[in-house]
Amino acid sequence: MSLPRIFLVTLLCIFAGKVALANAPSTSLRPKARPVGITTYVPHQPRAPVFYNAHIRPKPRPTTAWQAPPRTQVQVTTVAHPSPQPEVAVFLGNVPGLQRSLRPKARPKNMRRIMARAKTAPVIPTAVAGEVRGPKRGAVCGDRAIRGQAISRIRGRISACGIDNPVKITSVDGVALSTPATLDCTTAKALKQWVHNGAKPAVGRMGGGIKSLRVVAHYACRTRNNQRGAKISEHGRGRAIDIAAINLNNGTALTVLTDWRTNRKGAALKQMHKAACGPFGTVLGPNANKYHQDHFHFDTARYRSGTYCR
């Protein structure tokens, strides 16, 4: 290397050293050692400006005991729920806290079946408070098995006759009457009980079962057996009915006048006569007297000695 070149390199090195010394840090970059005695680490907390009028700053707690704010009127909105769960009330207004959880209730497992049933089920009107639903249309005396109609009060030509709440019966327990019978409800219910528990079991399958009852007397303001000077008959009070025959579905009949003393039909008629003792207070047949050779007389008169059956 030539002498001028060596001299030039030397000058560059001296100049670079002066620049490095001018930019050297005033302190050592090596971290200081922790002071002796400090065992916990205290993180550095940077200082941040605090705005005392800021809205996000929480208000200080009161020094006195907390009191609930006065209750105010709450607006309640009722929302109908599609499921059979009770209605959900949504509370709005100045309420100190929730009345119930806002978390929805779990759906029932048979939700699809409930919704399908709700679509096909008929709409049943809700009964008004104090309202008593009446029986099926055409039924009277509060019994669906007694068909007919209620009629106005009947006043007899004699003071002992008449019916306060009469009904005109057309059928009982599915068995028609040959003619509508005017009775009171007590007698109509006794007739229905006799047909259901007495006449139908006695006939059974004979002739295809009972079709109708041949009624020969019901309400009539008269004396007993139409005898002059006798007492007022129970027919005059709407408490009696006379039945002469039981018509069957095959066109035949069990007639009291002709079949009472026969074997099969007579046995069925005697069984019916016996079954009437209980529902009715008086039961008369061919063995009672000459006036009842062709019919059964049933009435709801009550006696101290019990039911009178002959």
pLDDT in tens, 37-60: 666 666 666 676 665 565 666 777
When pLDDT is cut at 50, 70 and 90, the band that residue 78 belongs to is: low
For 76-90, 113-127, 191-205, 290-304, which range has the lowest pLDDT when averaged over its residues?
A: 76-90
Going by the DSSP 8-state scheme, the letter that residue 277 receives in this structure is B
Question: What is the value of pTM for the model shown?
Answer: 0.56
**Rg of the Cα atoms in the chain:** 52
Residue type at position 188: A
Average pLDDT over residues 74-101: 53
Q: Which residue has the tokens 């709409």?
A: 123
The full set of domain ranges for the chain reads 139-309
CA 294, CA 180: separation in Å to the nearest integer? Answer: 20
Average pLDDT over residues 271-290: 93
Length of the chain: 310
CA 280, CA 297: separation in Å to the nearest integer? Answer: 10
Give the list of residues 6+ apart from residue 110 with CB closer than 8 angstroms, or none. none
Residue type at position 45: Q
pLDDT in tens, 233-260: 889 899 999 999 999 999 999 999 999 9
The token pair at 160 is 């002992």
CA 162, CA 219: separation in Å to the nearest integer? Answer: 9
On whether the CB atoms of residues 276 and 200 are closer than 8 A, the answer is no
The token pair at 72 is 């105010």
Phi, psi of 89 (to 5 degrees): -100, 130
Q: How far is CA 125 from the centre of its chain?
A: 11
- Paired strand residues for 120: none
- Paired strand residues for 154: 163
- Paired strand residues for 217: 242
Q: What is the mean pLDDT of the chain?
A: 79
- Paired strand residues for 91: 76
pLDDT in tens, 4-39: 777 777 777 776 666 555 566 677 777 777 776 666
